């Protein structure tokens, strides 16, 4: 059986949510973060050399990485649901936002990026400008369309939701200047599959939907 190894307050919530949206059978195993370091416990890190969430097992398969897992589950168990067809006009948008979540948005929100050029012998932290550009891009997209890939909910939304919500427990971010993002979080956060997934994965964690 497909097993989701869920590390509390982590990207593995995406996979629980995906399984709930697809209404497929799965087993959910919980792991708690180290109370001091806030890192994954040893038994989680032992699952795969990468040692980070999410990780699934499916028979002999052990697979990490959000995007890879979502692609695998949709192809193997979802019959292609929540994925935009290559023939669709929305296919390029689906690909962009599906990959933008972890390739650009999440790293810019979590990592300190320093420019190679120094001024007065001090490194220039360019992270704020990159975060501003990324968030402005997200806000502009959600002014154009209901979901990231277009007018239909897709796996791109599952990928994008974590950096805008649960990540803010670790990296606080004010959304008062982003009305389209806040409206998006409100209506997507009301999806029954999302609420069910969060009740199962992190029942005591406040949802960051505003």
* Model confidence, pTM: 0.91
Neighbour count for residue 45 (Cβ, 10 Å): 16
On the question of pLDDT at 134 being above 80, the answer is: yes
129 pLDDT band, cuts 50/70/90, is confident
| CATH code for residues 91-191 | 1.20.1050.10
H, E, C per residue of 52-103: CCCEEEECCEEEECHHHHHHHHHHHCCCCCCCCCCCCCCHHHHHHHHHHHHH
pLDDT recorded at residue 110: 86
Cα–Cα dist 161/181, whole Å: 10
Q: What is each CA distance from 169 to 94, 144, 157, in whole angstroms?
A: 27, 28, 19
Q: Look up the CATH number of domain 2-76.
A: 3.40.30.10
Structure tokens given for 173: 């971010």
Contact indicator for 166, 13 with CB cutoff of 8 Å = yes
pLDDT tens across 69-123, in order? 999 999 999 999 999 999 999 999 999 999 999 999 999 998 743 333 334 445 4
> Rounded to whole angstroms, what are the CA distances from 149 to 84, 111, 158, 176, 189?
8, 26, 11, 24, 17
Mean pLDDT of the chain: 92
Which whole number is the average pLDDT over 29-51? 92
- Between residues 35 and 91, the one the model is more confident about: 91
Of 111 and 29, more confident: 29
- Structure confidence at residue 127 (pLDDT): 58
Give domain limits for the chain.
2-76, 91-191
The pLDDT of residue 87 is: 97
What is the tens place of the pLDDT at every residue in 153-188?
999 999 999 999 999 999 999 999 999 999 999 999
Give the residue among 106, 184, 86 at the shortest CA–CA distance from 194. Answer: 184
**In percent, how much of the chain has pLDDT > 70?**
92
- Paired with 24 in beta bridges are none
Could you tell me if 114 and 108 are in contact, meaning their C-beta atoms sit under 8 angstroms apart? no
């Amino acid at each position: 059986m497909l097993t989701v190894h869920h590390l509390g307050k982590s990207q593995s919530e995406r996979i629980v949510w995906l399984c709930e949206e697809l209404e497929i059978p799965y087993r959910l195993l919980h792991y708690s973060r180290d109370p001091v370091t806030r890192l994954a416990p040893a038994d989680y890190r032992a699952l795969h050399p990468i040692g980070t969430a999410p990780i699934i097992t499916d028979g002999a398969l052990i697979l990490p990485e959000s995007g890879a897992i979502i692609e695998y589950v949709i192809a193997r168990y979802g019959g292609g649901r929540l994925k935009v067809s290559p023939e669709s006009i929305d296919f390029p948008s689906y690909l962009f936002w599906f990959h933008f979540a972890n390739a650009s948005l999440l790293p810019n929100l979590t990592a300190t990026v320093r420019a190679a050029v120094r001024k007065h012998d001090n490194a220039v932290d360019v992270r704020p400008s990159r975060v501003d550009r990324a968030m402005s891009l997200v806000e502009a997209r959600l002014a154009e369309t209901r979901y990231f890939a277009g007018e239909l909910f897709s796996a791109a939304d599952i990928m994008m939701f974590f950096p805008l919500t649960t990540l803010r427990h670790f990296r606080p971010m004010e959304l008062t200047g982003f009305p389209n993002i806040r409206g998006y979080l409100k209506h997507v956060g009301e999806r029954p599959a999302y609420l069910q997934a969060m009740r199962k994965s992190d029942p005591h964690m406040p949802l960051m939907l505003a």
